[in-house]
């Protein structure tokens, strides 16, 4: 069985050695370099990858990935799309070969999109960029999607033992994302996922009115039926209102997010944080406590690392302290420190709690 890894890159020489080492379980590694000036192409070739250099104008991620897909040799059975800032846990090839039975066309696996400073996972969800040759294409200018173009129904499987970790350069620019997202929505105005992504991107750029307008539209779209994503749009609207210093409207949207998806921690944690800022300690304690009682973390991109780290314990400890519940505050701050042991603020808060307990 022939396994081919394929990728696109530009100016990523810092990742080349690590990436090729991780992908070396494949039979073939092919890369489309879209205009590197830092020696990435030369480094990859020296490490044994097959590199084609070609600029994509106008730039689109789907065009680049489809061009890189053309570099896959016809004898390849299994195609694996990764980026140079990603690495597999060792032993990935044997696991996907074992799962590649019964006419399967596509495999899903764990994707650690973010990794914390201590090496623990941050945001984790399932992704599915392992696929059969010549049966797929990429669509959308950004946040591109692997689309099945074969006959019949696409047969897919999960491979729990495979994990891909994303270890990016934190200084990498996102400048190209917004215009490409606007183009994507223009090309396919009925695509609810890209409408959601566009609203989120406006939030990142602090274009709060555009964020609110776009996510209002997302919530009205007939295809926007996934409760988790709808709740995320509501939380982003709330953040935009906080950016506009409208805490009342932010609170209203957070309550809507909780009602939309009460099984998610994220809305409860954000509501607890807002009430903590407002020094409404009983409310903050209530929402933080409810968040902690949710123990099943969904494996989707909606899941946010802070909601599953120290934050719900941190907020609970602060609220308990100001309510005079010092034993409870100590219990919660210790749990918060289990997640973030190097956090100086948490360490200082623990000292304040101990002082109260000793008086």
Write the pLDDT tens digit of every residue in 121-158: 889 999 999 999 999 999 999 999 999 999 999 999 99
- Domain assignment present for 298: no
Last residue of a domain, one of 124, 141, 166: 166
What CATH number is attached to the domain comprising 116?
3.90.550.10
Question: For residue 43, is it within any domain?
Answer: yes
- pLDDT of 261 higher than 90: yes
Clarify whether residues 188 and 254 are in a common domain.
yes
Residue 262 gets which letter from DSSP? T
Residue 13 burial (C-beta neighbours within 10 Å; 0-12, 13-18, 19+) = middle
| Domain range enclosing 17 | 3-166
Q: Is residue 307 part of a domain?
A: no
Residues 137 and 200 in one domain: no
Structural domain includes residue 131: yes
- The pLDDT value recorded for residue 117 is 75
**Cα 78 from chain centroid (whole Å):** 25
Q: Are residues 63 and 115 in the same domain?
A: yes
Same domain, 149 and 236: no
Q: In this predicted structure, what is the pLDDT of residue 102? A: 86
- Answer yes or no: do 12 and 158 share one domain: yes
pTM: 0.90
Residue 273 lies inside a defined structural domain of this protein: no
- Please say whether the beta carbons of 127 and 109 come within 8 A: yes
Residue 352 lies in a domain: no
Indicate whether 67 belongs to any domain.
Answer: yes
Distance CA(193)–CA(190), nearest Å, equals: 9
Dihedral sign of CA atoms 117, 120, 125, 129 in order: positive
CATH (domain of 210): 1.25.40.10
Dig out the tokens for 312 from the structure.
Answer: 């719900």
What pLDDT sits at residue 173? 77
Any domain includes 117:
yes
The number of domains in the chain is 2
């Amino acid at each position: 069985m022939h396994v081919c890894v394929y990728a696109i890159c530009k100016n990523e020489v810092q990742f080349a050695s690590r990436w090729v080492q991780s992908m070396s379980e494949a039979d073939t590694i092919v890369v489309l370099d879209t205009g590197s000036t830092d020696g990435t192409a030369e480094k990859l070739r020296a490490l044994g990858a097959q590199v084609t250099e070609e600029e994509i104008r106008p730039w689109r991620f789907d065009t680049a990935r489809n061009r890189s897909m053309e570099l896959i040799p016809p004898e390849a059975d299994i195609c694996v799309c990764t980026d140079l800032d990603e690495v597999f846990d060792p032993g990935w090839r044997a696991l996907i070969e074992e799962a590649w039975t019964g006419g399967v066309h596509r495999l899903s696996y764990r994707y650690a999109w973010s990794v914390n400073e201590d090496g623990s996972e941050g945001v984790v969800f399932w992704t599915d960029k392992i696929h059969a040759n010549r049966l797929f294409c990429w669509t959308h200018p950004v946040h591109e999607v692997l689309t099945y173009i074969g006959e019949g129904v696409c047969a897919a499987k999960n491979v729990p033992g495979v994990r891909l970790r994303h270890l990016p350069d934190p200084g990498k620019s996102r400048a190209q994302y917004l215009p490409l997202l606007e183009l994507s929505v223009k090309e396919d105005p009925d695509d609810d996922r890209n409408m959601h992504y566009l609203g989120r991107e406006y939030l990142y750029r602090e274009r709060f009115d555009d964020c609110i307008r776009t996510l209002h539209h997302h919530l009205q779209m007939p295809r926007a039926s996934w409760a988790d994503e709808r709740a995320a749009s509501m939380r982003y609207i709330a953040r935009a209102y906080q950016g506009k210093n409208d805490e009342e409207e932010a609170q209203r949207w957070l309550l809507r997010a909780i009602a939309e998806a009460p099984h998610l921690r994220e809305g409860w944690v954000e509501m607890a944080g807002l009430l903590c800022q407002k020094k409404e300690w009983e409310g903050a304690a209530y929402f933080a406590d409810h968040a902690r009682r949710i123990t099943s973390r969904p494996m989707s991109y909606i899941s946010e690392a802070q909601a599953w780290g120290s934050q719900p314990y941190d907020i609970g400890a602060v609220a308990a302290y100001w309510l005079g519940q010092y034993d409870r505050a100590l219990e919660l701050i210790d749990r918060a420190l289990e997640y973030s042991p190097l956090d100086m603020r948490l360490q200082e808060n623990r000292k304040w709690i101990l002082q109260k307990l000793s008086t």
